[in-house]
Structure 1
Amino acid sequence: MVLESQKYQVSSNRPSCTCQINRLLHQRESYIFVTGAQPFDSNRRSSFIVYHIRLNDIETKRRYSDFASLRRILTRLYPIFIVPPVPEKHSLLDYAVLQNRAKNDITTIEKRKRMLQSFLNQVSKHHYLGHDHFFHQFLDPDVVWSDVLQSPSLSSFLKQQPLHMALTNSSNVSTQLSLSSLSPISSSTSLSSSNATSLFYCPARPVFHPLLSHRIVPTPTSPQTLQQRDPFLITSEEKSIHLASFLSKHLEKCQRKVIRRLGELANDYAELGAVYNGFSLNETEHVSNAIERMGQTVDDAYTETGQMVLKLEGEFAEPTQSQIQMTMFVKKVIQFQYLKQCQVELIEQALDRQQDELDRLLQMEKELQRLDRALQQNSLNTISLPPPSPSQEQYTHRHRHHRPRRHQQLDSYRNPVTVNAAGHSLQHLIDVDPVTTRRNQIGKSKESLQILEEALAICRNDTHQLSDQLHKEIQRYERDKTMMLRDSLMAFATAHLRYCQKNLSAWEDTKSQVDRIPLE
């Protein structure tokens, strides 16, 4: 089965989609904003939050499950690309604490807005994901996303076993697919000039291949039996596991503690500011003014501390959480590559067994043909013997009548007519035509051998493509990870620097106000 989505063309540089969304994203280097979130009641029984997405002057509304489905589609279409994460769903603890207010919790909604915005911008900056037309349709307000998900081609594609997919390359496979059948778009959708097709190049796109789902083609469930592993992938997997462990057990834990205590400090500042403001009412003139100024400065400290908490949440803690998820995605794409390699090895083993079975059948056929030729030659020699003389026949007939009864019984057992009748009866019970059956087995073995050889060629080609692309993708991920860590550390330092500068200015003014209090 081939996905009915887009038309491909070979490009030596970057993939190019000619729809309006792609032009806005990449020709103008636009940034995607999640500007708001509002509850939407479809009926009295269920409600959900709709997030407003803005790209230049285009605004689209999508719910959280739409973001999750977009990521699932991109993950299946590009199994070796590390697709950025979306924020996690509400945990059971959230529902236990907030109950019916979990979906409408302001803190959770604001966090999701920031992380969904980060997800969209990371996808748009990816060298292939950002040019995928499903992503463009997600940002198009004229596209009904539920219709895209319910299209027969896409829904059938998502149900297929990933290892039954063959990766196509535009240099050797050109696929023309109907855009309208996969993702219905209203007539007002703005596409390029004369046609409603999207042209882009993808290095490896999965297409369902019936041969890989054949019963004799093995499908591995785990890469435990893999004999040869790529040292680069082994190192990358170990690094990602170590990084995930360090981030989740140490860095994120400390971040949560610091941010929680800063939030508590902000609340303490708010309470202290109110106390100082009340205290100023009990004093007069210079003392009252100084105490009131002290209260205002503490209130400013409360505001600045709250802003720093938000900045650390969005630019320091949340990127760390995303990075933890990304490390797990790195492990998953490497595991997929291991499964493809394991599939190749299992097919090679099945091919060797099938070849041995075919050799055995051919050797058996050769031996039986040699025996048939020998029996035919023996029968010809028997027919060519001269007939016995009359005197010999009379002697034999007379001598046979005078033999003992025991010898006559032995003759009956040795009678070839009786043996042949029993043999034919047994032969009919076992096999009607052993020669035809044997030759059918040889034909089936040759057919199975051909299927396994074709499946092996497909899987070897896929594994080679996956290996090259996965190396490049992991290298890209390492660069992005370094940039993310740099930005996070810079955001942490900048937030504290701004916080200290603001507080320093405010407390200097407060100090000068306190100095005006007369001592006499």
Structure 2
Amino acid sequence: MDYDEFSNDNNPFAGSNHFYSNGISTTTESGEPQDSDTSVACLGVQSMDSQPLVNHTPAQFSDSTIVRITNYEVLRDFKNITTVFYKIEYMSNSVLRRYTDFVFLRSYLTKLFQTKVIPPIPEKHSLGRLIKNPFTYKSDTKIIHRRIRLLQYFLSEVISDPEIRQAEVLVKFLDPSQRSWHQMVKSGHVASLSSKSVLLTSPRNPTIPNPYLVYLPVPPLGLAKKYDSSLNSRIFVPLERKTKLLLQRVQGLEQTSKKLIKDFERDRLTMVELGGFFNIFSILEDQQKPIEEFGNRIDLTFLNIEMLTKSITVKIYEPLIILRLTLVATLHLLHYRKLKELQLSYLQEIIVKKQIRLKSLMERVTSEFKLNQVLQNNLVDSPSLNRAINELKMKKRKRKQLDESSLIIINEQLHKDDDDESFIRDHDNNSTLSKGSQGNWKTAIAGTSSSASSTKLHTRISSSHKSVSKLTPDELGSEISTARLELSEKLTPCFTNLMLDVKFISLEVEKNVNHQLANVVQKLCDIMSDWQTMVFSEFAHSCLKIWSNDTLS
């Protein structure tokens, strides 16, 4: 967020004998907002620092359930670091929370309500501002007051949602007895969500453990750009296109309002300089009263411009920031739904590959079974085929004898190695090989593992990458049983649950995004109406009052 346009709001008459040398309004250390001076109040434009962000949502709750951020306090947190705490008043209670606490709250709400557009919070300090003001960027009252307005908007929006309002994480966030809210969240049932990706949770019940969630694959995120489906192209691509178009319009209005603020700020500085010239000129010339009155009107005009820039900031610029961040959150929600659909397609491909592999394994078992029946029963009447069958039997018998003789040779060699090892051990009592290391050394020579489970795991992993024709009978049987188990008890139930999740997400996201886009359009209309009826009209009326003929006496 760019705050440079608000960083040079110093009094131009500070240090002089001018009437406004002491400023118009001040801010105390406790952070209590102060009212403007009576000379400014007569202009018809009030101070904007203490004014909440304009919210065009109709009031649905009583005064006791309205949330307010009244002021701020600079305290030390649990890490003994000086931090700004915001005082929240809700249902006759007050609680202090940091900006970081709001960040964690929104993060948890995003994972708890995965199909809703969670209202945005103000962005963090920009790197440019941190470099420009490395020691005072945290204590800038302009930034603090802006955060108060935007954070109050965030809390008002989440509390207005009946479902979010009942969430335990929000209830404890507003509970004054929970002093260290960050530590409380780490120990609650929501703590499990902090380290989990939203792709590995169920949007229907994010906090309830599901045994099938451990089998969910995480597809490569790069596939999301090229992925498309009939559901996505029919419903969600038009929604995404509409959201991006609105985002472009809002960004254009935001840049325009930002430029207006900078232009009015330059005009204000010009009027300040002009008013100073007239005040000096009134001292030097004989006709002091007319010149002094004209200079005072110049001063009132630049104060009017200052109030105008604050009014544009609170009623136009900051609501546009909220709309922009809301549309960005909407795009993130649409992207998340697309990732869940991609995850379903990715899991479906895994299941199809498993089924094809299992089918190939079963076909080999069936063909070998039929061949063995033919070899055992000599069911073929052809003499040439019987001769070939007898040759196959002889080859199998010879292969079996060769395997047995090879096994005898290997065992003899192992026995010889054991004798050599025992001789070396008896010859050298200071050998560095312990019994455990000797066992590992022998198993490494024999090509076997000391653990039966590790043998099965290694066999299963290596056999799954082998060609079906090269599998041994043991590997064949092990892989068939493993594939059947994974398909029937793991992947297929996981696919069923994920398909229900995608259906639920698609319905809810479509409904919530359409509702959110309608709200954005309505708020844009309200902002334009505020510009015509409140911001510019008040400025024009106050300027007309200053320069009207009735005040020339």
Taking structure 1 as the reference length, what is the TM-score of the superposition? 0.72
Q: How does 1:116-127 map to 2 (within 5 A)?
A: 116-127=151-162
For residues 305 and 140 of structure 2, the distance between their equivalents in structure 1, rounded to whole angstroms, comes to 22
Deviation at 1:304, TM superposition (A): 2.3
8 Å Cα contact 1:323/1:481 also seen in 2: yes
Matched, 1:166 2:202: yes
SS at match of 2:120: coil
Identify which of 401, 405, 422 aligns with 1:421. 401
Deviates more, 1:465-474 or 1:91-100: 91-100
8 Å Cα contact 1:290/1:510 also seen in 2: no
1:60-90 deviation per Cα after TM superposition (whole angstroms, max 9, x unaligned): 2111111111111111111221111111111
Q: Partner amino acid for 1:73?
A: Y
Change (3 A) 1:43 1:218: closer
For residues 250 and 406 of structure 2, the distance between their equivalents in structure 1, rounded to whole angstroms, comes to 73
Matched, 1:150 2:152: no
Matched, 1:504 2:544: yes
8 Å Cα contact 2:64/2:90 also seen in 1: no
Identify which of 229, 241, 245 aligns with 2:244. 241
For residues 231 and 322 of structure 1, the distance between their equivalents in structure 2, rounded to whole angstroms, comes to 29
For residues 159 and 78 of structure 2, the distance between their equivalents in structure 1, rounded to whole angstroms, comes to 34
For residues 426 and 348 of structure 1, the distance between their equivalents in structure 2, rounded to whole angstroms, comes to 45
Q: Partner amino acid for 1:243?
A: L
1:414-447 deviation per Cα after TM superposition (whole angstroms, max 9, x unaligned): 798655401556799999x954543332211111
SS at match of 2:96: strand
For residues 294 and 70 of structure 2, the distance between their equivalents in structure 1, rounded to whole angstroms, comes to 37
Deviation at 1:472, TM superposition (A): 1.0
Change (3 A) 1:132 1:370: same
For residues 324 and 484 of structure 1, the distance between their equivalents in structure 2, rounded to whole angstroms, comes to 12
SS at match of 2:138: coil
Q: Partner amino acid for 2:259?
A: K
SS at match of 2:85: strand
- 1:4 corresponds to which residue? none
- 1:516 corresponds to which residue? none
- 2:260 corresponds to which residue? 258
SS at match of 2:221: coil
For residues 345 and 44 of structure 1, the distance between their equivalents in structure 2, rounded to whole angstroms, comes to 46
For residues 237 and 415 of structure 1, the distance between their equivalents in structure 2, rounded to whole angstroms, comes to 67
SS at match of 1:101: coil
Task: Using the aligned pairs only, state the percent identity.
Answer: 20
Matched, 1:464 2:503: yes
For residues 350 and 48 of structure 1, the distance between their equivalents in structure 2, rounded to whole angstroms, comes to 50
Q: How many residues align?
A: 419
For residues 271 and 371 of structure 2, the distance between their equivalents in structure 1, rounded to whole angstroms, comes to 103
Deviation at 1:311, TM superposition (A): 1.4
For residues 322 and 96 of structure 1, the distance between their equivalents in structure 2, rounded to whole angstroms, comes to 25
8 Å Cα contact 1:280/1:289 also seen in 2: yes
Deviation at 1:272, TM superposition (A): 3.6
- 2:39 corresponds to which residue? none
Matched, 1:295 2:299: no
For residues 425 and 139 of structure 1, the distance between their equivalents in structure 2, rounded to whole angstroms, comes to 79
For residues 272 and 33 of structure 1, the distance between their equivalents in structure 2, rounded to whole angstroms, comes to 41
Matched, 1:136 2:165: no
Change (3 A) 1:258 1:459: same
Deviation at 1:42, TM superposition (A): 4.8
- 1:398 corresponds to which residue? none
Deviation at 1:377, TM superposition (A): 2.3
For residues 44 and 294 of structure 1, the distance between their equivalents in structure 2, rounded to whole angstroms, comes to 56
- 1:15 corresponds to which residue? none
8 Å Cα contact 1:301/1:503 also seen in 2: yes
1:426-482 deviation per Cα after TM superposition (whole angstroms, max 9, x unaligned): 799999x95454333221111121222111101110000000100111012112202
Q: How does 1:322-361 map to 2 (within 5 A)?
A: 322-361=322-361
For residues 363 and 36 of structure 1, the distance between their equivalents in structure 2, rounded to whole angstroms, comes to 75
Matched, 1:32 2:72: no
For residues 302 and 78 of structure 2, the distance between their equivalents in structure 1, rounded to whole angstroms, comes to 41
Change (3 A) 1:94 1:69: same
- Unpaired segments ≥5 residues, structure 2: 1-58, 382-390, 411-446, 448-458, 460-470
Matched, 1:492 2:472: no
Q: Partner amino acid for 2:270?
A: D
Deviates more, 1:266-275 or 1:333-342: 266-275
8 Å Cα contact 2:215/2:494 also seen in 1: no
8 Å Cα contact 1:315/1:488 also seen in 2: yes
Deviates more, 1:302-311 or 1:221-230: 221-230
Q: CA RMSD in A?
A: 3.3
Change (3 A) 1:273 1:53: farther
Deviation at 1:510, TM superposition (A): 5.8
Deviation at 1:163, TM superposition (A): 1.3
Q: Partner amino acid for 2:520?
A: K
Change (3 A) 1:305 1:497: same
Matched, 1:115 2:150: yes
Deviates more, 1:258-267 or 1:369-378: 369-378
For residues 228 and 103 of structure 2, the distance between their equivalents in structure 1, rounded to whole angstroms, comes to 35
Matched, 1:320 2:320: yes
8 Å Cα contact 2:64/2:91 also seen in 1: no
Deviation at 1:509, TM superposition (A): 4.8
SS at match of 2:118: coil
Identify which of 47, 65, 79 aligns with 2:82. 47
1:182-230 deviation per Cα after TM superposition (whole angstroms, max 9, x unaligned): xxxxxxxxxxxxxxxxxxxxxx646453423338x45443424534024
Deviation at 1:130, TM superposition (A): 3.3
Change (3 A) 1:372 1:418: closer
SS at match of 1:264: helix
8 Å Cα contact 1:164/1:210 also seen in 2: no
- Unpaired segments ≥5 residues, structure 1: 1-23, 169-203, 382-410, 514-520
For residues 249 and 123 of structure 2, the distance between their equivalents in structure 1, rounded to whole angstroms, comes to 20
SS at match of 2:135: helix
- 1:173 corresponds to which residue? none
Change (3 A) 1:418 1:435: closer
8 Å Cα contact 2:169/2:190 also seen in 1: no
SS at match of 1:503: helix
SS at match of 1:166: coil
8 Å Cα contact 1:262/1:309 also seen in 2: yes
Deviation at 1:329, TM superposition (A): 1.3
